[in-house]
């Protein structure tokens, strides 16, 4: 029990309590009186102490919260920044987050995704978009196994070159949009044929197309690559004949096409810079295929296929499956000696190619 006292203009607060001894005997009442001014000063000090304690606790909670938030948001911001880099086309980024938590798992998944995109970009740059998904998958497996390298290496391949005769003159007489439409229609007919036989379209040069067989997506023997190229060439010429029939009905000019085929040693590998690499083949074998295609212009008025002696020999027992005509020796540009040439005619009867490769 408490009571207030006033003594000499000073106010006191007295606390009263029973005074008992052992055994519970009540001896009286004991009181303690303290000046109210002292109690007020003590209360304020206590309030300040409580305020400082609470403020310190709040600061510590905020500091710990900010620290924990930083541990979470910093890796997330790294992922966001890396994602922006990937979106802008940079596939060299990698997120380095250590640990075994969910963020580390997310970062590892992101790195695997970028690696996959980078791998796909490499193959797309190497071969463009002209190969079938099956060929691209075989290429990926070949690179992964180490059987095919980007540095230059010698290989025996069969090269096929096509070109539309007089197309530059034709294109001068029609709008550019018409030229583009004609080329897209033309290549749309013949590219699927060469890819079907395992040919890789190395490049388009206007109305010309360079294709190689035997190095990608898998290594072939000279006989296999020569056979595939000749099969493709025959079907390409047949497709061009069908296309020209349609063009004739539409009143459009004919697309007379020359095809040159040559088999020999090439240098195959990545050509270009680190940020733009293209898998290609170079060498005299490629040049000779181009020269054979050019030779068709001087020998024939219609579409024709010319084959080198090396390709003819490489066919071995498969020569009988085709209709060849020996044209003797001819001089071509860039060669000191004349080369032996054969014309590959379209078959008189349909030929079954199945099981030949």
* Contact between 255 and 167 (Cβ < 8 Å): yes
Stronger pLDDT, 327 or 112, i.e. the higher one: 327
Confidence of residue 264 (pLDDT cuts 50, 70, 90): very high
Q: Strands of 10-20's sheet, edge to edge? A: 2-7, 10-20, 26-35
SS (H, E, C) the chain: CEEEEEECCEEEEEEEEEEECCCCCEEEEEEEEEEHHHHHHHHHHHHHHHHHHHHHHHHHHHHHHHHHHHHHHHHHHHHHHHHHHHHCCCCCCCCCCCCCCHHHHHHHHHHHHHHHHHHHHHHHHHHCCCCCHHHHHHHHHHHHHCCCCCCCEEEEEEEEEEEECCHHHHHCCCCHHHHHHHHHHHHHHHHHHHHHCCCEEEEEECCEEEEEECCCCCCCCHHHHHHHHHHHHHHHHHHHHHHHHHHHHHCCCCCCEEEEEEEEEEEEEEEEECCEEEEEEECHHHHHHHHHHHHHHHHCCCCEEEEEHHHHHHHHHHHHHCEEEEEEEECCCCCCCCEEEEEEECCCCCCCCCCCC
Phi/psi region, residue 42 (left: phi>0; alpha: psi -120 to 50; beta: rest), is alpha
Integer Cα distance of 289 and 158 in angstroms: 9
For 331, how many CA atoms within 13 A lie in the half-sphere containing its CB? 2
Domains of the chain: 128-345 (3.30.70.1230)
Determine the pLDDT at residue 5. Answer: 77
State the chain's mean pLDDT as an integer: 79
CA 51, CA 327: separation in Å to the nearest integer?
Answer: 107
Provide the pLDDT for residue 106.
76
Give the mean pLDDT of 228-257. 95
- Is there a contact between 35 and 10 (Cβ–Cβ < 8 Å)? yes
**How confident is the model over 89-109, as a mean pLDDT?**
72
Q: How confident is the model at residue 15 (pLDDT cuts 50, 70, 90)?
A: low
Higher-pLDDT residue of 184 and 153 is 184
Whether 261 contacts 160, CB under 8 Å: yes
CA 159 to chain centre: 26
The pLDDT > 70 percentage for the chain reads: 65
Give Dmax (Cα) for the chain: 145
| Choice among 102-111, 155-164, 292-301 with the minimum mean pLDDT | 102-111
CA angle 53, 59, 65 (to 5 degrees): 135
Burial of 252 (0-12, 13-18, 19+ CB in 10 A): middle
pLDDT value, residue 93: 72
Report the DSSP beta bridge partners of residue 4. 13
Q: Give residue 243's pLDDT.
A: 96
**Higher pLDDT, residue 39 or 195:** 195
Residue 78: the pLDDT is: 75
* Stretch 32-48: mean pLDDT: 63
Q: How far is CA 341 from the centre of its chain?
A: 41
Mean per-residue pLDDT, 270-297: 81
Rounded to whole angstroms, what are the CA distances from 267 to 79, 127, 212, 280, 313? 42, 16, 12, 8, 21
As a whole number of angstroms, the distance between CA 165 and CA 190 comes to 16
Cross-strand pairs, 348? none
Question: What mean pLDDT comes out for the span 92-118?
Answer: 73
pTM of the model: 0.64
pLDDT at site 154: 86
């Amino acid at each position: 029990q408490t009571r207030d006292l006033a003594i000499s203009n000073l106010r006191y607060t007295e606390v009263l309590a029973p005074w008992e001894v052992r055994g519970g005997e009540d001896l009286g009442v004991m009181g303690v009186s303290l000046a109210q001014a002292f109690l007020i000063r003590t209360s304020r000090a206590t309030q300040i102490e409580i305020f400082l304690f609470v403020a310190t606790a709040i600061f510590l909670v905020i500091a710990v919260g900010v620290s924990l938030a930083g541990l979470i948001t910093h890796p997330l911001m790294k992922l966001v920044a890396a994602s922006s880099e990937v979106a802008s086309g940079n596939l060299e980024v990698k997120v380095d987050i250590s640990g075994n938590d969910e963020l580390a798992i997310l970062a590892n998944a992101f790195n695997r995704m970028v690696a996959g995109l980078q791998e796909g970009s490499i193959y797309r740059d190497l071969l463009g978009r002209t190969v079938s998904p099956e060929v691209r998958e075989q290429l990926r497996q070949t690179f992964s196994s180490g059987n095919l390298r980007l540095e230059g290496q010698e290989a025996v391949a069969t090269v096929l070159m096509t070109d539309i005769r007089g197309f530059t003159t034709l294109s001068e007489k029609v709008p550019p949009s018409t030229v583009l439409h004609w080329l897209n229609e033309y290549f749309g007919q013949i590219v699927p044929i060469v890819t079907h036989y395992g040919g890789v379209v190395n490049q388009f040069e206007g109305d010309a197309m360079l294709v190689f067989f035997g190095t990608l997506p898998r290594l072939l023997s000279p006989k296999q690559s020569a056979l595939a190229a000749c099969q493709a060439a025959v079907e390409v010429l047949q497709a061009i004949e069908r296309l020209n029939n349609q063009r004739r009905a539409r009143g459009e000019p004919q697309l007379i096409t020359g095809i040159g085929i040559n088999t020999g040693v090439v240098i195959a590998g990545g050509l270009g810079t680190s940020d733009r690499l293209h898998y290609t083949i170079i060498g005299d074998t490629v040049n000779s295929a181009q020269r054979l295609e050019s030779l068709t212009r001087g020998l024939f008025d219609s579409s024709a296929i010319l084959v080198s002696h090396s390709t003819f020999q490489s066919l071995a027992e498969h020569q009988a499956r085709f209709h060849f005509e020996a044209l003797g020796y001819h001089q071509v540009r860039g060669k000191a000696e004349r080369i032996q040439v054969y014309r590959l005619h379209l078959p008189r009867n349909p030929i079954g190619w199945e099981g030949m490769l």
